[in-house]
């Protein structure tokens, strides 16, 4: 039932941008805002993906992940932490059996320029070290060459290597140039076995945008309508404010609906978003903004 | 572990987000705006205008009789002969620019009143009606001193007095469409807003007063059909501009037969919105929704007849139904409302009659599941699926949130069916193939054709119909011509 990827559904960019503009006119206030902010916090993959990452940095971030909202009782934790494969074991030490999951990037992140064997090895390292989720990158060069079967087969092979870990497939939409390509890459990833599709590595600009995310959500919706199989979505990079997160949730709510309004099916890949949400939730509870110095920055 | 640690999928309902209306100041009674002042009507009669969302009375407005029309036309003639005709065009332009700027300054007030008086969602009055109205004044202000360049070597001259009658679906915007080109071309105006929605036109009268436009250049009088008839029949009127129903358009045509009066008529429509199998389907669904549910379907160019190619019909209808379920129907002043109140009791009755007719004709009816408010005039977004060309709901203009769906197999078939209607105002085409778009746009008998979008308006773009949708163009360079003689 693999479709012909030379002929995937076409996308009208103007239409997508207009739809996004309309989501952004929704007025999210009071109870709706409170619920939305809590949900957004619960959907965050707290991320550090830098060459200068150390065990210390990873430990601090993992501790923060479990205690992100200690000052404001009744709040959920973030969904997961996201690190490089060699830091998964360290993260596991800190998080142990808490509800915070461990996601690891793999497959020669962020460029994906390596051989399949090395990518598989990278994936196994992450999974064997205790990763619950693997964030792989697709081979954008092969995709742009029109070598769709290569991209498909690679994803399928990594999926197999993931075992029980859930696979998120990063399309790196900032390198795909058109929304038609984003749709095509989404369809390939979904059919090749992705549990989640994800916009970006965070290393390329533009990273996640609402139009790109909408195209991917529509691919997920179309797949669900045909097969009843749910696929998750993760916009990553560039979402740093609570307001922007709420706009993404409006888009999710009105495109995929109730079933997806949980961190099992939607994530934000972000590093500074959590603190802005805490700041806004604090304002909702206490009535005033307090200094950012009260919010830890790990 | 705390129970809050994971949130499971839930129904995220939007809390009420009402636009404030405490800053709105409405008088309890409005008089006629003639010769720069608000004056009592000779009829001594007033009638009420209601909020269709709450059925509450908003204000009373004067009912102009033939004598009042006569006074208004005399004021317009006096202003034309003594002031406006003689004024240098660049001075005229300054007044029009001034009106545009004050509309922008008072945009929030105008948007709220428009939604209160007409029932349209604040999202539309705020983001579409009021800004587009201001843009029309800005656009035509720019033309005022460039008419010689717009029509080189043809020596354009103003006509005199324009009698303008506008509908209830876009009250302020239609006033702008009418007044702006008339003033830019050097004519003076007597304008009558619809009896259901006079308030923003009267606010515009206040704005015109505030802008110190010379007395009598714009006169705004309120009343019913007989007031309009007196305006059309008045011997000193040189030009009629009417937007409204085809029935009234025909009456006007008869009334001015044998006179020298020029006319533009912008009448009904029953537009075909055509979706091909190679279209961007998800965006087409969005365009279908925008085409028929914009302003509760009270749009003369609404895409009210959907034609879907058979190979994608099931998918399109499934997705359309799902999208319609996400539309929020309710309080027009709530910022999250997508579909507001039907403009009047009469219009709601008319729409409900058509719902009965369509059901009786055996069509499959689909309406969204969410409840609509008990008070006020509301209609659920509605589809008639499996419609045929011969169904009455396909042939007649409903002017409400009701879409008929027909399927087609070939391009020849859909062109024939799309044109097989007395109207010809607008159409929509959805396909990824450019050549198909050009093929269709040259064969569809409609004044406006949108490709891969719908309901787009711009002051620089002419708008008007074929056949029983009227004649003459408004907007753009073309919109100047009906107000000029050469």
Chain-chain contact of A10 with B123 (C-beta, under 8 angstroms): no
Whether B206 and B300 map to the same domain: the answer is no
Closest-approach residue (CA) in chain B for A7? B278
pLDDT of residue A1: 54
Chain-chain contact of A11 with B279 (C-beta, under 8 angstroms): no
* B377 is a domain residue: yes
* A42 closest CB neighbour out of B6, B11, B318: B6
Closest-approach residue (CA) in chain B for A21? B127
pLDDT interval class at B4 (50, 70, 90): low
Question: What is the least distance, in Å, from the CA of A198 to any CA of chain B?
Answer: 20
Please answer whether residues A164 and A195 qualify as being in contact, where contact means their C-beta atoms are separated by less than 8 angstroms. no
Q: Given strand B46-51, what is the order of strands in its sheet?
A: B29-30, B56-62, B46-51
User: What CA–CA distance (Å, rounded) separates B18 from A28?
Assistant: 11
Residue tagged 């409005």 (tokens): B30
User: What CA–CA distance (Å, rounded) separates B234 from B396?
Assistant: 32
Quote the tokens at residue A268: 């934000």
Residue tagged 């360049």 (tokens): B149
Residue B91 clears pLDDT 90, i.e. is over it: yes
- The secondary structure of B2-63 as a DSSP string is -GGGSPPP---PPPP-BPP-TT----SEE-EEETTEEE--TT--EEEEEETTTTEEEEEEE-
* B13 is a domain residue: no
- Is residue A137 reached through a cis peptide bond, with omega within 30 degrees of 0 on the bond before it? no
pLDDT in tens, B435-444: 999 999 999 9
* A243 is a domain residue: yes
* B417 is a domain residue: yes
- pTM as predicted: 0.95
* A77 closest CB neighbour out of B5, B17, B318: B5
Chosen for mutation from A7, A9, A10, A226 (greatest number of chain B CBs closer than 10 Å) is A10
* A39 is a domain residue: yes
Chain-chain contact of B278 with A10 (C-beta, under 8 angstroms): yes
User: What CA–CA distance (Å, rounded) separates A183 from A171?
Assistant: 10
Chain B neighbours among A 102-161 (CB < 8 Å)? none
* A26 closest CB neighbour out of B14, B280, B287: B14
Quote the tokens at residue B307: 């034609």
Quote the tokens at residue B404: 């008929």
Q: Domain tally for chain A?
A: 1
Residue tagged 């995310």 (tokens): A213
Is A96 an interface residue toward B (CB < 8 Å)? no
Chain-chain contact of B7 with A76 (C-beta, under 8 angstroms): yes
Closest-approach residue (CA) in chain A for B18? A27
* B22 is a domain residue: no
**CATH number of A52's domain:** 3.20.20.70
Is A20 an interface residue toward B (CB < 8 Å)? no
User: What CA–CA distance (Å, rounded) separates B297 from A103?
Assistant: 49
Closest CA to B75 of B198, B196, B188: B188
pLDDT of residue B325: 96
Whether B40 and B181 map to the same domain: the answer is yes
Q: Give the residue numbers spanning the domain of A196.
A: 13-294
* A3 is a domain residue: no
pLDDT of residue A71: 77
pLDDT in tens, B171-198: 999 999 999 999 999 999 999 999 999 9
Per DSSP, A173 falls in state G
Question: What ipTM goes with this model?
Answer: 0.94
Residues of A in contact with B10 (CB under 8 A): 35, 258, 261-262
**CATH number of B370's domain:** 3.40.309.10
Residue B6 clears pLDDT 80, i.e. is over it: no
pLDDT along chain A (298 residues), means of 10: 79 97 95 95 96 96 89 88 97 93 96 97 97 98 96 98 97 97 98 98 96 98 96 96 98 96 96 93 87 82
Closest-approach residue (CA) in chain A for B278? A10
- Summary mean pLDDT of chain B: 96
* B17 is a domain residue: no
User: What CA–CA distance (Å, rounded) separates A2 from B28?
Assistant: 68
Which residues is A106 bridged to in the sheet?
A: none
Q: Give the residue numbers spanning the domain of B168.
A: 29-267+469-485
* A261 closest CB neighbour out of B12, B127, B326: B12
Whether B355 and B449 map to the same domain: the answer is yes
* B159 is a domain residue: yes
Quote the tokens at residue A275: 């603190």
* B20 is a domain residue: no
Whether B330 and B196 map to the same domain: the answer is no
* B329 is a domain residue: yes
The whole-number average pLDDT for the span B96-123 is: 98
Is A24 an interface residue toward B (CB < 8 Å)? no
């Amino acid at each position: 039932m693999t479709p012909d990827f030379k002929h995937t559904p076409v996308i009208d960019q103007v239409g997508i941008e207009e739809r996004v503009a309309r989501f952004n006119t929704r007025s999210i206030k009071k109870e709706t805002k409170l619920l939305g902010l809590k949900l957004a916090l619960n959907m965050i993959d707290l991320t550090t993906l830098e060459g200068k990452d150390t065990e210390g940095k990873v430990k601090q971030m993992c501790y923060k992940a479990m205690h992100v909202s200690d000052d404001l009782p009744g709040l959920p934790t973030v969904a997961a932490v996201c690190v490089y494969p060699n830091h998964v074991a360290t993260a596991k030490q800190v998080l142990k059996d808490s509800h915070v999951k461990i996601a690891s990037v793999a497959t020669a992140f962020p460029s994906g320029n390596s051989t399949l064997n090395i990518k598989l090895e990278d994936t196994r390292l992450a999974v064997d070290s205790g990763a619950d989720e693997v964030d792989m990158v697709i081979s954008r060069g092969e995709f742009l060459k029109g070598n769709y079967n290569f991209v498909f087969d690679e994803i399928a092979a990594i999926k197999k290597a993931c075992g029980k870990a859930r696979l998120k497939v990063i399309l790196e939409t900032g390198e795909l140039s058109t929304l038609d390509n984003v749709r095509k890459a989404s369809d390939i990833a979904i059919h090749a076995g992705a549990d989640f599709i994800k916009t970006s590595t965070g290393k390329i600009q533009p990273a996640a945008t609402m139009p790109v995310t909408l195209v991917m959500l529509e691919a997920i919706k179309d797949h669900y309508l045909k097969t009843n199989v749910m696929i998750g979505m993760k916009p990553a990079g560039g979402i740093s404010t609570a307001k922007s997160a709420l706009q993404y949730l409006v888009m999710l709510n009105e495109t995929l609906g109730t079933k997806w309004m949980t961190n099992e099916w939607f994530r934000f890949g972000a590093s500074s978003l959590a603190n802005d949400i805490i700041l806004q939730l604090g304002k909702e509870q206490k009535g005033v903004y307090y200094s950012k110095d009260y919010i830890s920055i790990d | 572990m705390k129970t809050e640690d994971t949130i499971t999928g839930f129904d995220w309902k939007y809390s009420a987000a009402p636009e404030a209306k405490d800053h709105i100041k409405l008088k309890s009674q409005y008089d006629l705006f003639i010769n720069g002042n608000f004056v009592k009507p000779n009829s001594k009669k007033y009638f009420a205008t209601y909020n269709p969302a709450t059925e509450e009375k908003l204000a009373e407005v004067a009912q102009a009789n033939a004598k009042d029309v006569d006074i208004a036309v005399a004021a317009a003639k006096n202003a034309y002969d003594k002031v406006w005709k003689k004024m240098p065009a660049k001075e005229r332009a300054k007044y029009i620019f001034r009106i545009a700027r004050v509309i922008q300054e008072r945009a929030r007030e105008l948007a709220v009143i428009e939604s209160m008086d007409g029932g349209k969602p604040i999202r539309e009055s705020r983001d579409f009606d009021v800004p587009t109205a201001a843009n029309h004044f800005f656009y035509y202000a720019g033309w005022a001193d460039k008419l010689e360049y717009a029509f080189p070597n043809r020596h354009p001259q103003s006509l005199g007095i324009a009698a303008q009658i506008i509908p209830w679906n876009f009250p302020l915007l239609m006033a702008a469409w009418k007044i702006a080109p008339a003033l830019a071309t050097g004519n003076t105006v007597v304008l009558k807003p619809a009896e259901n929605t006079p308030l923003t036109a009267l606010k515009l009268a206040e704005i015109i007063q505030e802008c110190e436009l010379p007395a009598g250049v714009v006169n705004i009088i309120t009343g019913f059909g007989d007031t309009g008839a007196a305006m059309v029949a008045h011997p000193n009127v040189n030009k009629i501009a009417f937007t409204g129903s085809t029935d009234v358009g025909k009456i006007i045509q008869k009334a001015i037969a044998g006179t020298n009066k020029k006319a533009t008529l912008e009448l009904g429509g029953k537009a075909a919105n055509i979706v091909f199998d190679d279209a961007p389907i998800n965006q087409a669904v969005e365009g279908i929704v925008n085409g028929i549910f914009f302003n509760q379907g009270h749009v003369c160019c609404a895409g009210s007849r959907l034609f879907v190619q058979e190979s994608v019909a099931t998918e399109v209808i499934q997705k359309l139904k799902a999208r319609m379920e996400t539309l929020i129907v309710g309080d027009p002043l709530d910022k999250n409302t997508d579909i507001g109140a039907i403009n009047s009791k009469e219009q709601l009755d008319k729409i409900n009659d058509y719902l009965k007719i369509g059901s009786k004709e055996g069509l499959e009816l689909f309406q969204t599941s969410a409840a609509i408010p008990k008070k006020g005039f509301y209609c659920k977004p509605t589809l008639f699926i499996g419609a045929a060309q011969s169904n009455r709901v396909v042939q007649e203009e409903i002017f409400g949130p009701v879409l008929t769906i027909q399927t087609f197999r070939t391009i020849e078939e859909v062109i024939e069916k799309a044109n097989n209607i007395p109207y010809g105002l607008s159409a929509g085409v959805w396909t990824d193939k450019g050549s198909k778009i050009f093929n269709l746009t040259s064969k569809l008998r409609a004044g406006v054709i949108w490709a891969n979008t719908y309901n787009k308006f711009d002051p620089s773009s002419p708008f008007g119909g074929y056949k029983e949708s009227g004649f003459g163009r408004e907007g753009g360079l073309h919109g100047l011509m009906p107000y000029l003689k050469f």
